[in-house]
Structure 1
Amino acid sequence: MRSGVVVLGAVAFGYLSFRIGFKPYLDRAQEAMDSSHDAAAAASTDSSGGADRQDDGADLAPSSKDPAVVLRD
């Protein structure tokens, strides 16, 4: 029982240290994935008959201050 708790604690510590140590790199990777996804989505909506779509200049992508983004992390 005691060794199980020690192993779980070590795994939790390793996971948290990985997340904290590589956070800048993980954030950059997430931003790159989001921007490539946004570019692909924009390209697909433009090529799929954009005549019916009205572009009012509103950006529907979530910002970095969006609560859903904060809660996701």
Structure 2
Amino acid sequence: MKVNSNAMRSGVVVLGALAFGYLTLQLGFRPFLERAQSAVDDFDPASSSSSSSSAAAEQQEQQQPDSSSSTRRF
């Protein structure tokens, strides 16, 4: 019974230490990670051009009348 209790206590301590370490790294490196992410976003022309081209395509589709609803008389 004492061995089981010690194992549980050790598990809780290890999980707590891992959680504390993870939070420490996230809080400590947050400014660097945000700068790196913004640099990647600014550098990657493919993602920005594809998003702007898809937005332009959507806008173009909205401006054109729907060709499927044209009134053809036979």
Q: TM range, normalised to the smaller chain?
A: 0.5 to 0.7
2-structure distance, mates of 1:9, 1:29: 29
Identify unmatched segments of 5+ residues in structure 2.
1-7, 60-74
Runs of at least 4 residues off by over 6 Å: none
- Percent of pairs with identical residues: 55
Superposition RMSD in Å: 2.5
Identify unmatched segments of 5+ residues in structure 1.
57-73
User: TM (normalized to structure 1)?
Assistant: 0.52
Identify, as 1 or 2, the structure richer in helix: 2
Higher relative contact order (CA 8 A, sep 6+): 1
**Equivalent position of 1:6 in the other structure:** 13
User: TM (normalized to structure 2)?
Assistant: 0.52
Matched residue pairs, number?
47
